[in-house]
Structure 1
Amino acid sequence: MLHADVVVFDFDLTLTRWETAARFFKAALRAQPWRMAVVVLAAPVLLPLLALRRTRRLPVRFAVWMATFGRSGTQLDRLAQAHADAVFAAGEAVFIEDAVACLRTHLANGDRVVIATGCWEPVARALLARGGLAEVPLVASTLRPWLGGWVSDQHCLGPNKIPLLTARGYPPPWAMAYTDHHADLPLLRNSAQWCLVSPKPECVRRIEQALQVRAPILPWRGQAAAR
C-alpha cells in the first residue's frame, strides 16, 4: 500500500548548505589540537586506505573515533548543541530557504514529513531545533562506544535508510522523496515521486541510468547539474 502522505527529505545538501556531520567532527578535532595532531600523525597510514573501496571509510571512522575519544555521550550531546549554537550565532545560513519552504508547504498540506540522514543524530537534531524545525521527525545515524571513543552504530545511508525508516513507522513505498545524492537510489525506487536537489552530473547520470527516466531537478543550492 502506498503511504500517500509520507514525504522523505534527505538532510545534508538537500536541506542544508554543507555536510553537517563532517563539519561538526572537524570542529571537535580542532577544538583540542592534540586530537588533530594524532590524526595528522596517522595520515601516512590512513591516506592510502582511501584508494581502495573496501577500506576508504576507515580514515573517516578513525577521525570520528579520535574526535570522540574520552568523551561521554552526554558530553558529546552538549558539544553538538554548542556547535549548533555557535554556527547560528555566527549568522551562517545553514538551511536552504527554498528547501525549507518546500518542507513547510508539505506540512501545511497535511503530509507526514520525515528527515532521513546519514548525519549523526544529535548534530542534525540540534541544527533543526535552531532552525525552527524541531517538530519534524528525524531518522539519523547513531554511534556506539568503542575503546574509549565512539564509532558508527546504525548508519542511516543508502539502503540502510529503508529499514531504519520502517522501524520508526515510515515503511515504503513513500509519496515523495528529495535528495542530492545517488546513494539514495533505494529511497527513490520506493517513492512514487522524487526530485534531485542541485545534484552533481555523476549523480544525475547514475540515477537516470538506473531508473530509466529523466531526473526532475530543483536548483536550490544554485546552478543545477548540466543537462
Structure 2
Amino acid sequence: MKNKILNTSLIVLFFVVFVMSCKKTAQPEVSLIPEIESVNPIYARNEEEVSVQFKGVGINNTSKINIKINKVELAAQYSGYHNVVKFKIPKSFFSSTTLVSSLEVEINGKTSKKVDNAIYSNFFPKLDRFIPNIARIGDEVTIYGYNFMPDTNKTSVSFFGNNNTSLKGKVTYIDPEVIKVIVPANAETNTIAVITGTNDVNYSVVPLLFTENIRILKY
C-alpha cells in the first residue's frame, strides 16, 4: 500500500515539475511582419497596375491590405497568388517633381519596413542594352536606354581598366534613347557605367551600371 502511495506521489510530482518547466520555457507569441521581396514592374506609369511580392505573413481574400507609396495610402488587393498583392499607381502621382517612390505594405495591421527607391517613374533614366558586346580599343559602342539627359556635360560613359580603374569614353552622339561612345585606351573586359541626370525640376545625378560585361579584345 505504501509503495502504491509512493508511486502515485512521484507521478504527481513529475507532472507538476513538467508543467512548471513548460511555463518557464514557453516563448512569447511572435507577431509576423511582412517583408517586401520584389516589385513588378519597377518602372511604372501613372494608373499602371503594380504587383508586390512579400514574405513573413500569409494572406487570403479576407486580409486587410494597404499600400503606402511616398506616404500616400492606397487600398490593395490580394492577387490570388501566394503572398502577392496588387495596386494601381494613382493618376498624376509621378510628375516632374516625383520620379521615385518609397513603398510600404500593411497586412492586417502589420506594416513592413519601408523600402526607399522601390518604384521608379517611367520617365526615370534606365539602361536597355549595348552593341557590340565584343570590341577593341577605339571601336564605337552604341548604348540603348530611356530618358538619357542629351547633354555631354551631364551624361558620361565609363569603361574599366586594371584594378577597376574608371576610364571615361568619348561620347560621339547622344539623344534620350541612344548614346554612342568610343572604347578608351587601357579598357579591360568589364561592365559599362553610364552617369546621366533626371530631366526634371529637381535635377539629380543618376549612376547606371550594366549587369553584363563588354569583352575587350587586345588584338
- How does the TM-score come out when normalised to structure 2? 0.24
Task: Kindly indicate whether structure 1 or structure 2 has the higher relative contact order, using CA contacts under 8 Å at least 6 residues apart.
Answer: 1
- From the two aligned structures, give the one with the greater strand fraction: 2
- From the two aligned structures, give the one with the greater helix fraction: 1
Higher radius of gyration, 1 or 2:
2
- How does the TM-score come out when normalised to structure 1? 0.23
